[in-house]
Structures are given as structure tokens and as C-alpha cells.
Structure 1
Amino acid sequence: MTNDKKIPTLYEWAGGMPVFEKLTDTFYKKVLADPLLEPVFKHMSTEHQQHVAHFIAEVFGGPKTYSEQEGSHFKMVHKHLGKHLTEEHRKRWITLLLETADELQLPDDPEFRSAFVGYIEWGTRIAVINSRENTLDMDKEQPMPKWGWGETGGPYIP
């Protein structure tokens, strides 16, 4: 017996773009009220949270709104250069994002949450690494990350 059901993307499983936009909108309100994170994010553009929503949605298999209209993986990585993010910043950012995901009732099944947390861990660790640099030798055409239901891309090599 075969299973002919199409496995949804993480984007589809979460509920689509409205969910990601609400997640980042609600989340960044918390970030701007947080004493540790507010100084890092207080100068962000008014479109920042929407760009982040579109970026994460695309990474999770949604439309290519970010890469086709707003930026690229190269540009997102470069936004972190010279920010000098700490492990404390990273952990607080994750805590607030996961609290927001719970409040908004994003899917809480183990498979989705494992993939969601896996991406957030991966992405924030890369952000911290890149935030220590002022320049970065990176291919401007590097494709957007793609995240699924548990695959990893192998060990990180800067």
C-alpha cells in the first residue's frame, strides 16, 4: 500500500503568509519592548518585520516574495555584519519567537516544531557568527536556504 498524500511544505502546514506576517509583527513588538534586544533593533525599518516574515516563509517553502522583490540571501546575511550579537541576544531572540509561536498557536506537533526550532537555531547561530565580521566573502548569487521536515545541509563551514 502506498501513501499518495502530498507532504505539505512547512509554509503550508503553518498556515501560509498571514501566519508568518502575524508572527513577525507580534514578535517584533516584544523585541522592541525587551531591554536586551531593543537597543539592537530600535533602528530597524518599519518594513523589517514584513521582510523577515517573507524571508522565513520562502525558506519554509512559500512564495519567493523576499528573493524576487525585497532582497537576497546575500543581503540578509550582510544585514548582520558588524552588529556584534552575543549568545545572550541569540537566546533571548529565540525565547521571544517561540513564546510568540505558542501564543499565536502555530502548529505544535513535534515534527513541525522540530523543523521550526531547527531553522531558528541554525539561522540565529549564523547571524551571531556573521555579526562578528565587518566584511564577508560570500557569493552574491548564493541561493536562499531551503528548510524542510528535518533535513540538514551537513556541517557548517564558514
Structure 2
Amino acid sequence: MTSLYEHAGGEEVLHRVEEAFYDKVLADPVLKTQFAERLPDHVDHLTWFTAESFGGPDRFTKQLGFDHIIAVHRNLAITDEQRRRFVELYVEAFEEAGLMDNDAFRAAVRSHAEFGSEVAQQNSHAKTDEELHPIREVPRWTWDGDD
């Protein structure tokens, strides 16, 4: 069975999806406090994370490491509304790229975004390391969800 990464079309396609997603969150009234300005490497980092999570190259782990994603979300105090909107826009970017014709892929993308946003939200409120979500590596997502 092909990986989610292969099904999506690889890194180039995922980069285009993440670019479209990033444009959405930068313009979104609910998320603009979390995404106040365009960061030069953010789309690349999002792409690396998604690619690795979907079964592609482990560039995110090798070049940034999971501690990076924990540090980025610390003290953001992500609200439930922001978490839900993030997932909505993420799925929308995949839909607009024409990648959601397969129901299993659609479900995997949504569950990936839901899980990731829950981890980010928990970490955004953590005052101590003990309050952080226990995951410490990029999750490997499969057609059935978290591997």
C-alpha cells in the first residue's frame, strides 16, 4: 500500500498545499493572533512535518527536531475556536488542491490535523514540562490514523 505521502503526490504537492493553508491562516480573523506575520521558513517547516508524518523523508526530525515544535507552540494559549478553525482551514487547503477524492485519505488528513492541533493546544497552555503532551517525535500517520 502506498504511503499518505506518496498518495498526496510527494513534497512538491504538499508544499503547495501548505503554502495555500498558510495564506489562509494569515488572513483568517480567528487565527490572525496566532499567525500575525509571514515567517520565511514556516511553509517549509510545515511541509517537512507533514511529509514526515505522512511517511516521507524525515527532514523535520533531522533538521529541526521535535523540541522545535514544542517551543514554537509554548505560551500561545490556543483556544478551542482557534484549534477548530486551524483544522477546518487545513482540510480546506487539501480539498482545494483536489486531494480529497479518496474517503480514507480525507479521514487520515482530518485525523492528522485534529491530533496535531490537540497536541499543539495542550503544549500552548503547558506551564511545566510535565504538562506537555507526552509525544516527543513526529507521529507517523497511516491510512488508519496514528501508527
Q: How does 1:4-153 map to 2 (within 5 A)?
A: 7-43=1-37, 45-69=39-63, 71-137=64-130, 142-152=136-146
Distance (Å, rounded) in 2 between the aligned partners of 1:143 and 1:95: 24
Kept after mapping to 1: 8 A contact 2:140/2:146: no
RMSD value, Cα: 1.8
Percent identical across equivalent pairs?
34
CA change 1:43–1:33 in 2 (3 A) is closer
- What CA distance in whole angstroms lies between the structure 2 residues aligned with 1:125 and 1:26? 22
Q: What is the TM-score with the length of structure 1 in the denominator?
A: 0.83
Rounded to whole Å, the distance in 1 between the matches of 2:137 and 2:121 is 20
Alignment CA distance shift 1:101-1:62 (3 Å) = same
Q: 1:97/1:144 Cα in 2 relative to 1: closer, same or farther (>3 Å)?
A: closer
Matched residue of 1:45: which SS? Answer: coil
**What's the offset of the Cα at 1:43?**
4.0
| TM-score between both structures, scaled by the size of structure 2 | 0.89
Q: Which ranges in structure 2 are unaligned for 5 or more consecutive residues?
A: none
Aligned residues: 144
Relative to structure 1, the CA distance from residue 25 to residue 151 in structure 2 (aligned partners, 3 Å threshold; closer, same or farther) is: closer
Preserved CA contact (<8 Å) 2:112 2:145: no
1:4 alignment partner in structure 2 = none
Range moving further from structure 2, 34-43 or 56-65: 34-43
Task: Provide the rounded CA distance (Å) in 1 between the counterparts of 2:19 and 2:61.
Answer: 20
Tell me if structure 2 keeps the 8 A contact 1:9–1:61: yes
38-47 vs 21-30, greater mean Cα deviation: 38-47
